[in-house]
Amino acid sequence: MNLLLKEIRHNPLLWLLGFVPVVFVVQKLKPEAHSLLFVLSVLAIVPLAALLSHATESVAAKTGDAVGSLLNATLGNLTELVIALAALRAGQYMLVKASVAGAIVTNALFMLGGSFLLGGLKHHVQEYNRLSARIQAGLLFLAPVALLIPSAISAADSAAQAGLTQKVSLGLAVLLIVTYGLSTLHSLKTHRELFASAEGGEVGDAPWPLGLALVTLAGVTVVVALVSEVFVESVQKAAEAFGMSPAFVGFIVVALVGAAAEMASAFSGARKNRLDLSVGIALGSASQIALFVAPVLVLLSYVIGPTPMDLQFWPGAVVMVLISTLTASLVTNGGRSTWFVGVLVLMVYLIFALTLYLLPPRPQ
């Protein structure tokens, strides 16, 4: 506990933690001040993400990058899962799908590209484990295939496919979850050594003891979930006030804030020349959302949703997911990167963001 307080005193970023209670107080007193709540909740999520990042790194220092990446991805995606569950209960399937597709794209492009750029600005050329990156990119590649194939095949005969889509989605959901399970078995059990780091990489700050790190992880995750809920409630209204289209909000803003925690870990790993950790978090998080969170939501929709949800996304979303995974695949093929590789990946993301931003306010 002393260690935690010392950390907070020395790191000015963590002073922002003061906004956490402010968020809850303002929500109680002025629940209709959406723009204010939006800004406050973003300010509160940032230091929480930083804390989460340090805690996860401390655990990773003890367990190796593979387990650390998995941990990061799982805990980071809790936020996305919480958001999506709220929307699912309300039957807002469009919002669920937009946030899922946006999270895949944001992880595979913004987080990966940002890591390459930030790491590359500090280190001239960075190396990372290409075999593990290739396998993770391959895993991610299943996502657009699963989203694309059903609509491509059934385009052949347009009619009589309403009930069909539902059956196909259910089958695909099971296939994807099985694949995700096997991938975990592969990377943590049978072929653990392939996912070891290419370079040593020194952890800058002294790692916390395991107990403190685990307790912080658990506690901060809960607080992040609570603040996220305030964020979700306020974001749509605030977006209108700031003049953003709903598609932009769903794909970009929600996804960026939802991924803030993992992003802090990934970027700090890249700065410390531990690019394996960064690539692992970015691709691992993207494939976890695609192959675990999304199919679980489909299955859960049978239990808690008003009607079953399918896996049919609007064509623009499928194309964006396809381009994202193709970019991630091509880029991580080589195992070396410089700052410009990061610029390339970020540009693909900016092209998406720009187009979504300028869209008239209807799709999604």
Q: Provide the binding-site residues for a second copy, judged by CB under 8 A.
A: 124-125, 130-131, 134-135, 137-139, 141-142, 145-146, 148-150, 152-157, 160-161, 164, 167-168, 171-172, 175, 179, 182-183, 186-187, 190-191, 194, 314-316, 319-320, 323, 327, 329-331, 333-334, 336, 338-341, 343-344, 347-348, 350-352, 354-356, 358-360, 362-363
H/E run at residue 356: helix 339-358
Cβ of residue 286: shortest distance to a second copy, in angstroms? 15
Beta carbon of residue 204, minimum distance to a second copy (angstroms, whole number): 24
Q: Is 362 exposed, middle or buried (0-12, 13-18, 19+ CB in 10 A)?
A: exposed
Closer by beta carbon to a second copy, 219 or else 334: 334
Nearer to a second copy, 1 or 358 (CB): 358
State the nearest-atom distance from the C-beta of 161 to a second copy, in Å. 7
Question: Can you count the helices (H) and strands (E) in the chain?
Answer: 16, 2
Q: Closest distance between a second copy and the C-beta of residue 159, in Å?
A: 9
What residues are paired with 126 via a beta bridge? 337
337 phi/psi in degrees, rounded to 5: -150, 155
Measure the CA–CA gap between 120 and 27, rounded to whole angstroms: 41
Distance in angstroms (rounded) separating the CA atoms of residues 20 and 31:
15
Return the number of the residue (30 or 167) whose C-beta is nearest a second copy: 167
**Among residues 35 and 154, whose Cβ is nearest to a second copy?**
154
* Closest to a second copy by CB, 90 or 351: 351
Q: In angstroms, give the least distance from the CB of 25 to a second copy.
A: 40
Is residue 336 within 8 A of residue 120, CB to CB? The reply is no
Nearest to 272 by CA among 71, 139, 119: 119
d(CA 341, CA 278): 14
Q: How far apart are CA 39 and CA 23, in angstroms?
A: 9
User: Closest separation between CB of residue 327 and a second copy, Å?
Assistant: 7
- Name which of 5 and 160 has its Cβ closer to a second copy: 160
